[in-house]
């Protein structure tokens, strides 16, 4: 019984203290700010624009499905709304995974200084940075 209570308390406090992910925001309309803050190179800018377009394309299908789901269940009974909410959450989670994937790609293109600045900014707003393997430049 004590173990269950302890587990419950840990789970409850863990969710309170969990930090949100520090998204870079590629493709979200913040591209100019990203270019300015991180002083992106021309090659990085081109990749960011391409990945931003890819993100919009991927998420457009998911967003359309979410809109249709809401339309279909606008006046449904509570049981149906509960089922719909689970489907809706799956769609939102997929959109978030796409954002994470694209930001991670972009962060892997950052120089060490750019990535350290990203981590510093994330820490200032108490967000968890996205880990990204740095790109290896072979000469």
* Structure confidence at residue 137 (pLDDT): 57
pTM over 0.85: no
Low-confidence ranges of the chain (pLDDT < 50): 1-16, 138-139
pLDDT score recorded for residue 123: 96
Q: Which residues pair with 84 in a beta bridge?
A: none
Amino acid 111: pLDDT: 95
Question: Which tens digits make up the pLDDT trace of 53-83?
Answer: 999 999 999 999 988 888 887 777 888 888 8
Q: What is residue 71's predicted lDDT score, i.e. its pLDDT? A: 82
pLDDT value, residue 5? 43
pLDDT of residue 79: 82
Residue 21 contacts residue 127 (beta carbons within 8 Å): yes
pLDDT at 2: 44
């Amino acid at each position: 019984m004590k173990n269950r209570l302890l587990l419950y308390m840990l789970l409850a406090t863990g969710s309170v203290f969990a930090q949100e992910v520090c998204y870079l925001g590629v493709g979200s309309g913040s591209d100019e700010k990203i270019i300015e803050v991180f002083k992106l190179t021309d090659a990085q800018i081109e990749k960011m624009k391409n990945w931003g377009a890819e993100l919009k394309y991927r998420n457009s299908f998911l967003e359309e499905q979410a809109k249709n789901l809401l339309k279909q269940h606008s006046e449904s009974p509570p049981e149906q709304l509960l089922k719909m909410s689970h489907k809706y959450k799956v769609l939102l989670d997929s959109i978030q995974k796409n954002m994470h994937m694209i930001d991670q790609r972009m962060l892997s293109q950052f120089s060490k200084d750019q990535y350290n600045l990203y981590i510093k900014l994330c820490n200032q707003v108490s967000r968890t940075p996205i880990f990204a393997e740095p790109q290896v430049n072979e000469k």
